[in-house]
Amino acid sequence: MFLRVCVVFMACSLFANAVMAQTQWRIGANMASVHIAPQREFNQINPGAFVSATFRSDKKFQYGVQLGVYLNSYSERTIYGSTFANWRVARFGNADLRLGGFMGLMEYPVISERARAIGWPTVGDFILTMGPSLKLTFNSGLDFTVGFLPVKTKETSGVLTFQMSIPFGGRR
């Protein structure tokens, strides 16, 4: 399954890269999560890495794809693939503030059966995830993203996620 996700991600990225100008490749780190009103202990240090392609990287509206892996809140490995979009809503000196959202599939064997039981979309052990995001991007290329997973379960009332990334390679 992981190989298929990688092949699809790369095929889409290469096609989009060939078609779109202003594509920016980024490498990043998944860092942490904060569970809102947790009813149990969660692992909130979530080290991991990802690669992403951001299209229209110099425009007010941008979108992209991301593929990564991290140690999840249940202390298990999670592989994921997602899409994202965001809009620049403000500039602060050498930084842009962007609001947007994401949607993707995340591998969560520990909760995939519960997700299926309530009718949430899954593909094997991969669960559909989506939510809003807030990104601060500096002129240096460094960015910080906070995402929100609006899950309401008996264990938590939502999850904030934290990532950072830097560009690599060149822009076209």
Report the 10 Å Cβ neighbour count for 45: 10
Q: Which residue has the higher pLDDT, 154 or 33?
A: 33
**78-137 per-position pLDDT tens digit:** 999 999 999 999 999 999 999 999 999 999 998 899 889 888 999 999 999 999 999 999
**11-33 per-position pLDDT tens digit:** 555 555 545 557 899 999 999 99
Q: 2-168 has which CATH code?
A: 2.40.160.20
* pLDDT number for residue 18: 46
DSSP state at residue 105: E
Task: Determine the Cα–Cα distance for residues 90 and 70; give it in Å rounded to an integer.
Answer: 30
pLDDT band at 57 (very low <50, low <70, confident <90, very high): confident
**98 near 84, Cβ under 8 Å?**
no
Q: What is the mean pLDDT of the chain?
A: 88
> For 6-10, 70-74, 77-81, 113-117, which range has the lowest pLDDT when averaged over its residues?
6-10
- Give the closest residue to 55 by CA, choosing from 147, 140, 151, 172: 172
Task: Determine the Cα–Cα distance for residues 151 and 46; give it in Å rounded to an integer.
Answer: 18
Task: Determine the Cα–Cα distance for residues 61 and 51; give it in Å rounded to an integer.
Answer: 20
- Give the closest residue to 128 by CA, choosing from 99, 157, 150: 150
Q: Which residue has the higher pLDDT, 171 or 97?
A: 97
**Average pLDDT value for residue range 40-51:** 96
* pLDDT number for residue 59: 87
Task: Determine the Cα–Cα distance for residues 146 and 136; give it in Å rounded to an integer.
Answer: 9
Which pTM value belongs to this model? Answer: 0.84
pLDDT-above-70 percentage for the chain: 86
